[in-house]
Amino acid sequence: MTIIIKNKETLLFDDFIFKCSIGKNGFKKNKKEGDNTTPRGTFSLGDLYYRSDRIEKPITKLNTIKIRKNMGWCDDPKSELYNKLIKIKKNSKIRYEKLFRKDHKYDLLILIKYNYKKTTKFKGSAIFLHLTENYLPTKGCIVLRKKDFLILCKIINKKTKIKIY
């Protein structure tokens, strides 16, 4: 089964229709780092990351990983770790997206494997399915409300793809 992102506000999976939000500047086939677009294409999903201090382990067939205070996602195209999970080190010179946040956006997140296996510098990084409370446009991610995210987690599996067009 495939998750379908049909337009800037609709996520479809099986018989489920969820309201969502995407990148501020819409969809783009040739995404670039920092362009605030959501990449077009069909992608695999990665692991489900969650804040165990805020939420119980979700019911899912995906691999689950607890988000720790020192976890980040490298969004620095100059780094060899670009678009990878990293351990944040004090005085680090590389740019990254902090996963352990004060807000609740990353209490749950699923990696969308865009530009992931064979990473191309400046092509875009840290593209996730994650939480929202207000459906404001993102920097390129796809966001859902928590209750919808938890339903989606229950019905997808490791073979589920996401098609964005």
Convert the pLDDT of each residue in 34-56 to its tens digit: 999 999 999 999 999 999 999 99
Convert the pLDDT of each residue in 107-165 to its tens digit: 999 999 999 999 999 999 999 999 999 999 999 999 999 999 999 999 999 999 999 98
| Residue 65 CA neighbour count, 13 Å, CB half | 16
Q: Strand pairing partners for 66? A: 50
Give the per-residue pLDDT at 91. 86
User: Is 29 exposed, middle or buried, given 0-12, 13-18 or 19+ CB atoms closer than 10 A?
Assistant: exposed
**Nearest 5 degrees, angle CA 151-CA 153-CA 155?**
75
CA distance 36 to 26: 8
pLDDT confidence bin for 29, thresholds 50/70/90? very high
Fold of the 2-164 domain = L,D-transpeptidase catalytic domain-like (2.40.440)
Convert the pLDDT of each residue in 76-99 to its tens digit: 999 999 999 999 998 889 999 999
Convert the pLDDT of each residue in 108-121 to its tens digit: 999 999 999 999 99
Give the per-residue pLDDT at 6. 87
